[in-house]
Structure formats: C-alpha cells, structure tokens
Amino acid sequence: MKRTALKVATVLGVMALAPALPAFAHHSAAMFDHTKKVTLTGTVKEFQYTNPHSWLQVLVPQADGKPPVLWGFEAEGPSTLLRAGIKAHTFDPGDKVTIVFNPMKDGRPAGALLTATKADGVTYSPQPSGIRNGA
C-alpha cells in the first residue's frame, strides 16, 4: 500500500511539473555568443512585436555590392519591451538602425538584441529603463 501511494504521488508530481518543462527549455539563450558584441547598420524590414519573443528584421548591405542580407534580432516580448519604451511602431519598415547584438554561435545572420539606435540618435535597449540619449 505504501509503495502504491508513493508511486501515485511521484506520477502526480511529475505530471504537475511537466507543463513547466517547455518554458525552461524555451528560455535558453545558449545559441547566442554572449562573449561577443557585434554592431551592424541597416534598414528595418519588419518588427514582429509578438510573444514570447519579438524579432527585429533588418536588411544589412554587403560591402561587395551584393544584395543585402536579412538579419534577425531576438528581443523580449511586448510587455517587457513596452516597459523599456519600445512600442509596436518604434521600428517601422524603412527606418535606418544601428544594432548592437550578441551573434549566433553557429554564424547564422541573427543575434540577441542589445541596443538599437535609430537615425535620430535615440538608442533603445530591450530591457526595462532601456531608452538612452533622450526620449
């Protein structure tokens, strides 16, 4: 009887914790190289202001005159971005931006957004209290 109760309690405990496991896996930032900071300048293609993470898509020109490369920069979700002063239309298609980010470890054209500076000189950071240089 004690063994059965222990097994039932164990199974119920695992079942209760199972929904939280994807959240732990999802929030890994292991794909980014946090030892490097890279700076690129380009033109906003799209700002995906979505949960669980927002994405800033930027077309970055190549030095050799080839077509620009589409880079994706991951940021926090809308609620965190809003507290940092970043709204759904802070970055509109066509805006010129300079991005500072932690690059992907595998070299793909993407990274974790650290700051984005618009042509007017205002710098945004996806963390709360993230507006710098005015605004």
Mean pLDDT computed over 68-93: 95
Q: How confident is the model at residue 29 (pLDDT cuts 50, 70, 90)?
A: confident
Mean pLDDT computed over 98-127: 95
**pLDDT number for residue 12:** 42
The class that CATH gives domain 31-132 is: mainly beta
E strands in the chain: 38-48, 54-60, 69-75, 96-103, 110-118, 123-124, 131-132
Around 69, how many Cα atoms within 13 Å sit in the side-chain half-sphere? 12
Mean pLDDT computed over 100-112: 96
**pLDDT number for residue 63:** 86
